[in-house]
Amino acid sequence: MAKTTVIGGFHAVLAVLEDGHDKPFEILLAQGREDARMHRVRQLAAVHGVRVQSVSRHDLDVKAPGLKHQGVLAYVPEKAFDSEDFLYRSAEAGHVLLVLDGVQDPHNLGACLRTAEAAGVTAVIIPRDRSAGVTATVRKAAAGAAERVPLIAVTNLARTLERLKALGYWVTGLAGEGAESIFEVDLTGPVVLVMGAEGEGLRRLTRECCDHLAYIPMQGKTESLNVSVAAAVCLYECYRQRLPGGGSKHAKSVGKPRKDLL
């Protein structure tokens, strides 16, 4: 039997009902609240045959201490990672993979998933042993994106990056000492964007697997950005370049068909 976890917040619960592979076992709603989102939860729960209970807000607080549940909780199967095989089918021009090399703060992981889904990322990759797990906090911060974007945990991140390069992906890592601005890198082909952990940045082996190291230009005195903010900047630069006429004027080799590994 699948392990059960609790999630909260309307975005997360509605996403499970609308797009999740496994539907909730049960949903708890705060008594006395009746609005459009509550109605939508009840409606979808009825469609999928999910039991709904009305309980006091105090009961919700007790069942999910510290979670900003917004008056709705759902008991769901523990989220399984997507299959690693998904990565190795082909490197298509429109594919964008986001790698998070050891992001351990659940709010950061959730925010990265949210931006990745919004920016049309093909999949998010994390190391199996050096990352936050897919907790209720992650799913709440992801605002439903944890159910909608493939999340893949790999045992050996460096080996995964090498396999992706062999398939035709270009790998760009974000680092303060990078040789070029992220706005100068051509991100229009099959690309992998790699973000380092909070404080530590990219690990040595991960860094050595990158074709390019790029930085985000900083105009003020701030030395670095939060990893989720940095991921948003890079992903939307990638998105911008893929718009008609949006390519970089200073295109590097990233994005061009690989010939060096053939």
One-character DSSP codes across the chain: ---EEEEESHHHHHHHHHH-SS--SEEEEETT--SHHHHHHHHHHHHHT-EEEEE-HHHHHHHSTT---TTEEEEEEPPPPPPGGGGGS---TT-EEEEEES---HHHHHHHHHHHHHTT-SEEEEESSSS----HHHHHHTTTGGGTS-EEEES-HHHHHHHHHHTT-EEEEE-TT-SEEGGGS--SSSEEEEEEBTTTBS-HHHHHH-SEEEE----SS-----HHHHHHHHHHHHHHHTSTT-S-TT--STTSPP-TT-
253: left (phi over 0), alpha (psi -120 to 50) or beta: alpha
Tell whether 69 is covered by a domain. yes
Same domain for 28 and 49, yes or no, is yes
Same domain for 156 and 212, yes or no, is yes
Tell whether 261 is covered by a domain. no
> The CATH number of the domain where 204 resides is what?
3.40.1280.10
Contact assessment for residue 187 and residue 241, using Cβ atoms and an 8 Å cutoff:
yes
Measured CA to CA, the distance from residue 86 to residue 200 in angstroms comes to: 29
Same domain for 62 and 115, yes or no, is no
Same domain for 30 and 130, yes or no, is no
Overall number of domains in the chain? 2
Domain end position, chosen among 77, 93, 117: 77
Domain end position, chosen among 53, 77, 101: 77
pTM above 0.85, yes or no: no
Same domain for 39 and 133, yes or no, is no
Same domain for 65 and 97, yes or no, is no
Pairing of strands 26-30, 72-77: antiparallel
Same domain for 42 and 168, yes or no, is no
Same domain for 34 and 121, yes or no, is no
Tell whether 23 is covered by a domain. yes
Give the lowest-confidence range in 80-84, 98-102, 235-239.
Answer: 80-84
Same domain for 31 and 63, yes or no, is yes
Measured CA to CA, the distance from residue 44 to residue 51 in angstroms comes to: 11
Tell whether 182 is covered by a domain. yes
> The CATH number of the domain where 60 resides is what?
3.30.1330.30
Measured CA to CA, the distance from residue 37 to residue 39 in angstroms comes to: 5
Question: Which is more confidently placed, 135 or 191?
Answer: 191
Q: What is the tens place of the pLDDT at every residue in 74-92?
A: 998 887 788 888 788 767 7
Same domain for 122 and 214, yes or no, is yes
Helix axes 36-48, 10-19, angle to 10 degrees: 30
Measured CA to CA, the distance from residue 216 to residue 153 in angstroms comes to: 26
Tell whether 51 is covered by a domain. yes
User: Does the pLDDT of residue 112 top 50, yes or no?
Assistant: yes
Q: Which token pair is 167?
A: 């398939």
Phi, psi of 194 (to 5 degrees): -115, 125
pLDDT bracket for residue 47 (50, 70, 90): very high
Same domain for 90 and 214, yes or no, is yes
Q: Residue 94 sits in which domain range?
A: 84-241
Q: What is the tens place of the pLDDT at every residue in 148-181?
A: 899 999 999 999 999 999 999 999 999 988 889 9
Tell whether 12 is covered by a domain. yes
Tell whether 251 is covered by a domain. no
Same domain for 97 and 11, yes or no, is no
Q: State the first-to-last Cα distance of the chain, in angstroms, to the nearest integer.
A: 46
Q: What is the tens place of the pLDDT at every residue in 181-205?
A: 999 999 998 999 999 987 788 999 9
